[in-house]
Amino acid sequence: LWGIVNNAGRSLPMGPSEWMRVEDFHSTLNVNMNGVIAMTMTFLPLIKKAQGRIVNVASVLGRVAANGGGYGISKFAVECFSDCLRRDIGYFGIKVCIIEPGFFKTAVTSLDPIERELHRLWNQLSPEVKASYGEKYLDNYIKIQRLIMNAVCDSDLTKVTSCMEHALTAAHPRTRYSAGWDAKLLWIPLSYMPSFVVDIGLKLVLPRPSKSV
């Protein structure tokens, strides 16, 4: 076996962290983090014999924590697991590559399921938590999600698949691949900024609760 590409993933539930239950985190982590580890460790002996490739699809949200829920956490974990693995097994001639796509038009970024999940999360909150955010917070949050997805999502998926192809077949693959204009021009540069700059930038685009408690 020459190579594997760990691409399977789920994004939902995603929303403000306080809206999540523990099982909401686990449902995403089980696929995006545990799944990557399980697939890699299962096939690693065969990859080792071939001195082949392991390609893990992370995300720009594995560089910048912009959303609550398990998605960003899992992608940070994929970054860490890939770095550790590359350093551990590079001696054996195995290449470990990380792909960090920006926002693309896929099932992961489809607005309908995102909005359904946000409504579900909102409806399970206690009256006290709802009151702390205010009745208009959910509507404003959804409006911002629509604006971001419609403005940023790229429909050209070959920008991602060409990275996968290069990582699998090139004589000298790159350690990291950034796919998409937003990854190159927005998210990756933002990830090198001081934390307070990122905090301020995200505050400008996220809705504010109507009052504090």
At residue 22, the 3 state secondary structure works out as helix
Q: Is 177 a catalytic residue?
A: no
| 189: Cβ contacts below 8 Å, ≥ 6 apart | none
At residue 7, the 3 state secondary structure works out as coil
Furthest-apart CA atoms within the chain: distance in Å:
59
Check if the beta carbon of residue 77 is closer than 8 Å to that of residue 38. Answer: no
Preceding amide of 13 cis, omega within 30: yes
Q: Which residues are catalytic?
A: 71
